[in-house]
Amino acid sequence: MLVEQCPFIANNVRIGVYHHAYATFYAPSEVAGTGGMHREVIRCNPSWHGRYPRYDTVLVNLQPDGCFADGTLIVARVLLFFSFVFEDFKHECAFVEWFLLRDDNPDPHTGMWVIEPEILPNGERASGVISIDSIVRACHLMPVYGTTSLPPTFHFSDTLDAFRAYYVNRYIDYHAHETIQ
């Protein structure tokens, strides 16, 4: 959508900003949850415990019954949760950075999908605003290491900015194994 197509929102509209949201989803193998329901926290906090930023990654469903193979289930890093009321309807949104699949198939050695940050022609990362209803659940990324050693001063909170590619860890828990195929 072009900026010119967006609705005009008056300056007096209040925007709520949030540093976390809850994802509740159906997990058929969940033995502890009520009827297979599972709940997890997704964080986007610029000062986690007052020390460093924490921006979690999520799976975003672009189509009903999305999956990695057809590109309708993709990874994003949540930078901000926000909400506002427009024409008597509350819009709950997330501002995200996008990641794209490197290949059409999972890595043959690990069985995990490899993703890369989507980079625009100007060198910046691609970002956008999504409805929080399109977030399926949190996901865990692991860096694809190269041959360069990390400096001793490297802080883990810089991981999602420091590497060129990441594995989408489908083995982190059995819910991820059910979702990421």
Domain with residue 160: its CATH number is 2.30.30
What is residue 138's predicted lDDT score, i.e. its pLDDT? Answer: 87
Q: 134 φ, ψ to 5°? A: -85, -5
Q: 46 φ, ψ to 5°? A: -70, -15
| Residue 3 domain-assigned (yes or no) | no
| Residue 123 domain-assigned (yes or no) | yes
Burial 63-93 (b: 16+ CB within 10 A, else e): eeebebeeeebbbbbbeebbbeeeeeeeeeb
Dig out the tokens for 127 from the structure.
Answer: 């970002």
Dig out the tokens for 84 from the structure.
Answer: 């506002």
| Residue 92 domain-assigned (yes or no) | yes
| Residue 5 domain-assigned (yes or no) | no
What is residue 69's three-state secondary structure?
Answer: coil
What is residue 118's predicted lDDT score, i.e. its pLDDT? Answer: 96
| Domain enclosing residue 129, as ranges | 14-179
| Residue 55 domain-assigned (yes or no) | yes
What is residue 178's predicted lDDT score, i.e. its pLDDT? Answer: 65
What is residue 2's predicted lDDT score, i.e. its pLDDT? Answer: 56
What is residue 73's predicted lDDT score, i.e. its pLDDT? Answer: 81
Residue 53: burial class (beta carbons within 10 Å; 0-12, 13-18, 19+): middle
| Residue 1 domain-assigned (yes or no) | no
pLDDT in tens, 117-166: 999 999 999 999 999 989 988 899 999 998 989 999 999 999 999 999 99
The stretches in the chain having pLDDT less than 50 are: none
| Residue 66 domain-assigned (yes or no) | yes
Its pTM surpasses 0.75: yes
What is residue 174's predicted lDDT score, i.e. its pLDDT? Answer: 62
Domain count across the chain:
1
Strands (E), 49-88: 52-55, 57-61, 73-86
What is residue 123's predicted lDDT score, i.e. its pLDDT? Answer: 93
What is residue 7's predicted lDDT score, i.e. its pLDDT? Answer: 65
What is residue 119's predicted lDDT score, i.e. its pLDDT? Answer: 96
| Residue 40 domain-assigned (yes or no) | yes
